Amino acid sequence: AKFAPALDAVGTEIVGARRRGKYLLFDLDPGADDGPLRELVVHLGMTGRLAVHEPSSALVLDDPATEPHLRAWWRLDDDRVLTFHDIRRFGRIHVVDRGDYRDIPTLHTLGPEPWDPDFSGKHLAAFVKRSDRRLKTILLAQRAVAGVGNIYADEALWDARINPATRRLSRPRADKLVVAIRRALESGLAHGGTTLRDYVDSDGEQGDNQHELTCYGRGGEPCLRCGEKLRTRVIDARTTTWCPTCQAR
């Protein structure tokens, strides 16, 4: 039932694709049916993957034993198949009227994109000032900035020398954090993503950014900047790594 909305995309044509935060948005043209313009909205969760398979593929669509992680699929007009696999089942699929995200609260309330001019030190400092939450939690909540996950939050906070548990953020430090967030994401993009367990790209290739990480997942190891042992704690249910010397405040 979770993916019943996927049926609403049948008979339409994908005429555009873009990203908003961690969501993939596909513009759907109803064609001859002359219905409303709609969007297929996909959130990959932690392990979701979209892939296109050739007609000659050995993919078995109607056998759960063979494809236990197949959550949805669509046969394209050239007989290729678009599939959505999701091992941990945190992914979501929606079909909505174009631009109407009221039924997807986490998309409807997204903050600015990391490279949007609206995402600035001024914006981030003001957002933190209005909140009583820890900075790491604010970054992951997607309202101050869209698309930053646990890995890149740890990396950016280490880069900017800011303690993830702080509830205060001055304008100069916010400026540094904005730069650090962009730098962390740029590294992930340049190296094809971070493959720790399951992640592969749309071509089935693993990323290399795990070899570039300076902080995330390195608890107990020496800080690459000062040599102090990195610490790990849970902040609002998310494992967090930081340097007690470089990120003392």
> How many Å apart are CA 112 and CA 67, to the nearest integer?
37
pLDDT in tens, 151-199: 999 999 999 999 999 999 999 999 999 999 999 999 999 998 887 777 7
Query: In this structure, is residue 63 part of a structural domain?
Result: yes
Asked if 196 contacts 210 with a C-beta cutoff of 8 angstroms, the reply is yes
166 and 237 in a single domain? The answer is: yes
Number of structural domains found in the chain: 2
Give the mean pLDDT of the chain: 92
Residues 132 and 228 in one domain: yes
Considering the domain boundaries, does residue 154 fall inside one?
yes
Q: Please indicate, yes or no, if residue 113 is contained in any of the structural domains.
A: no
pLDDT of residue 243: 98
228 domain-assigned? yes
Question: CA 245 from chain center: how many Å?
Answer: 29
The predicted-structure confidence for 104-113, as pLDDT tens digits, reads as follows 999 999 999 9
The reply to whether 200 falls in a domain is yes
Q: What is the pLDDT of residues 38-92, one digit of tens each?
A: 999 999 998 899 999 898 888 878 777 788 899 999 999 999 999 999 988 899 9
- CATH code of the domain covering residue 137: 1.10.8.50
The reply to whether 137 and 104 lie within a common domain is no
- What's residue 249's pLDDT? 83
68 and 161 co-located in one domain:
no
Answer yes or no: do 12 and 84 share one domain. Answer: yes
Q: Note whether 140 and 235 are same-domain residues.
A: yes
**Is there a single domain that holds both residue 28 and residue 60?**
yes
What's the CA gap between 139 and 134, in Å, rounded?
9
Give the chain's radius of gyration (CA, Å). 20
Same domain, 236 and 125: yes
- The whole domain housing 213 covers 121-242
In a domain, 114, yes or no: no
Question: Is the pLDDT reported for residue 238 higher than 70?
Answer: yes
End position of a domain, from candidates 53, 73, 108: 108
Domain end call among 108, 142, 171: 108
Q: Is 248 part of any domain?
A: no
Is residue 36 a part of any domain in this protein? Answer: yes
Whether residue 97 sits in one domain with residue 67: yes
- Which of 77, 108, 139 terminates a domain? The answer is 108
Quick one: 44 and 152 in the same domain? no
Instruction: Check whether residue 31 and residue 67 sit in a common domain.
Output: yes
Verify that 138 and 76 share a domain, yes or no: no
